[in-house]
Amino acid sequence: MKHQHPNRVTPPPADKLLFTPGPLTTSNTVKQAMLRDLGSRDAEFIAIVQKIRQHLLELAGVSQAGGYEAVLVQGSGTFGIEALVSSVIPRDGKLLIIINGAYGKRIRDIAQRHGIETVTLEVAENTPAVPQQVSESLAADSGITHVALVHCETSSGVLNPVQEIGTVVKKFQRTFIVDAMSSFGGLPLDVAGTGIDYLAASANKCLEGVPGISFVIANRAQLLASGNAARSISLDLLAQWQGLENNGQFRFTPPTHVILALHQSLLELDEEGGVAGRAKRYTTNHAALLKGTRRMGLREYVPAESQSHIITTFLFPDDPKFKFEEFYQRLSDRSMVIYPGKLNEVDCFRIGNIGHLFEKDIESLLTAIEATLTDMGVTIFNKSPNH
């Protein structure tokens, strides 16, 4: 019997294109960066971690000299958010959460699970938060110590006015927490100028890395002042930073391969022209997507003026023959993966413009969507959506 050589690797199947909010399509070179085994205490790995931390600060427009720190946290973006929320709000603190989608609600759920007093300001899922309402909430409740906002609400793609809300939060001298999962690296954001004290994001969105590592950009003075507020051992943000500062190492086993991929993805972001260059490509993708879907008669849920170029939410076609599960599977069979909706108010699906995708990929998706709807016998009645 002929045996396969133990080092012979069967080529993996071809990747599908991921038009999702993450995990998303990555470059071959990012994937190849993971094909190394590197010890977590190795000097080379420690140096890479330090480079990543500095690189993240640069992308945020801040520096250690300016009083900011980048703290890496093992796990997906939600791990980073939970580490942040559960670590920096004191036992007698109160968190105002601005909610217009699933990820604002997730911040609320995290805070409540950790026994943090919360107050919420909820607006419609396709509507940006209103700075004046935030101002009124803060004026009415002097007990609020922290304010949390999702910059780009991934469940709909709506973009919240982070600059204006940051100005309000600073006026009232409260601490400003921003979930920038879907925007960091794909939208310009001046952390210090916006008055952001803490920003959480992850590797597998606009940075085009792979899932498994998140991070917090923190105002050092605020982080130090949080003291022993942490409600978790593994998600203790201050202890995590202190460990990294002490010897460059993680307190607990880091996802070494994922971090190597993040390092490579940050180099590729620089090569593309930084955040501005990447935002330009995503904007082009978004414009091509809207041109094609509007031609077909698909309607967006978020008004054009409130959309980001990160992800776009579409209403189900007004035809009983449209079944999302079938639509999704038929597109997947064509190697195109979209995302289901995550909203309570309407039936919808989402298409991401981010990841290692280009205008030609958007055009391929549009061709696949049109062919799939035709195969399903779906008629889109509204050929002239109002925008």
Q: Flag whether pLDDT at 386 surpasses 70.
A: no
Q: What are residue 311's phi and psi, to 5 degrees?
A: -145, 145
pLDDT in tens, 117-144: 999 999 999 999 999 999 999 999 999 9
Is residue 304 domain-resident? yes
Q: Does 222 share its domain with 363?
A: no
386 domain-assigned: no
Residue 319 domain-assigned (yes or no): yes
CATH number of the domain that residue 363 is part of: 3.90.1150.10
Identify whether 19 is part of a domain: no
Q: Given 251, 271, 291, which residue is the final one in a domain? A: 271
Which residues lie below 8 Å from residue 82, measured CB to CB, with a gap of 6+?
Answer: 110, 232, 235
Instruction: Mark whether 248 and 284 lie in a shared domain.
Output: no
* Span between the terminal Cα atoms of the chain, in Å: 67
Report if residue 294 sits inside a domain. Answer: yes
pLDDT band at 243 (very low <50, low <70, confident <90, very high): very high
Check whether residue 258 and residue 280 sit in a common domain. Answer: no
130 shares its domain with 196:
yes
- Single out the residue in 271, 294, 309 at which a domain terminates: 271
Domain range for 370 is 274-376
Q: Are residues 141 and 154 both part of a single domain? A: yes
Number of Cβ within 10 Å of residue 157's Cβ equals 28
What was the pLDDT predicted at 380? 78
Least confident stretch, 34-48, 161-175, 341-355: 341-355
Q: Taking the complete model, does pTM exceed 0.85, yes or no?
A: yes
Average pLDDT, the chain: 94
Domain count for the chain: 2
> Residue 158's beta-bridge partner residues?
153, 307
Average pLDDT (285-297) is: 97
- Of the given ranges (20-24, 41-45, 74-78, 342-346), which has the lowest mean pLDDT? 342-346
Residue 9 has pLDDT above 70, yes or no: no
Same domain for 110 and 186, yes or no, is yes
Instruction: Check whether residue 258 and residue 292 sit in a common domain.
Output: no
Report the distance separating Cα 239 and Cα 80, nearest Å: 14
> Is 250 within the bounds of a domain?
yes
Residues whose CB falls within 8 Å of the CB of residue 26, separated by 6 or more in sequence, listed in order? 208, 209, 210, 261, 265, 355, 356
Q: Which of 201, 169, 168, 210 is nearest to 183 (CA)?
A: 201
359 inside domain? yes
Q: Does 4 reside within a domain?
A: no
For residue 189, the model assigns a pLDDT of: 93
Torsion of CA 73, 78, 83, 88, to 10 degrees: 130
Looking at residue 387, its pLDDT comes to 41
Q: What percent of the chain has pLDDT over 70?
A: 95
The sign of the CA dihedral 83, 87, 92, 93 is negative
pLDDT of 280 > 50? The answer is yes
Of 271, 302, 321, the position where a domain reaches its end is 271
Per-residue pLDDT tens digits for 67-82: 999 999 999 999 999 9
Q: Evaluate if residue 18 carries a pLDDT over 50.
A: yes
320 plus 191 within the same structural domain: no
Tokens of 370: 């049109």
State the pLDDT at residue 175: 98
pLDDT tens digits for 172-218? 999 999 999 999 999 999 999 999 999 999 999 999 999 999 999 99
Domain match, 149 and 101 both: yes
Confidence (pLDDT) at 8: 59
Task: For residue 142, give the CATH number of its domain.
Answer: 3.40.640.10
The verdict on 209 and 280 lying in the same domain is no
At 63 the pLDDT is 97
pLDDT score for 343: 72
Distance from C-alpha of 86 to C-alpha of 89, rounded to nearest angstrom: 7
Q: Give residue 5's pLDDT band: very low, low, confident or very high (50, 70, 90).
A: low
Asked if 109 and 139 sit in the same domain, the reply is: yes
Do 290 and 253 lie in one domain? The reply is no
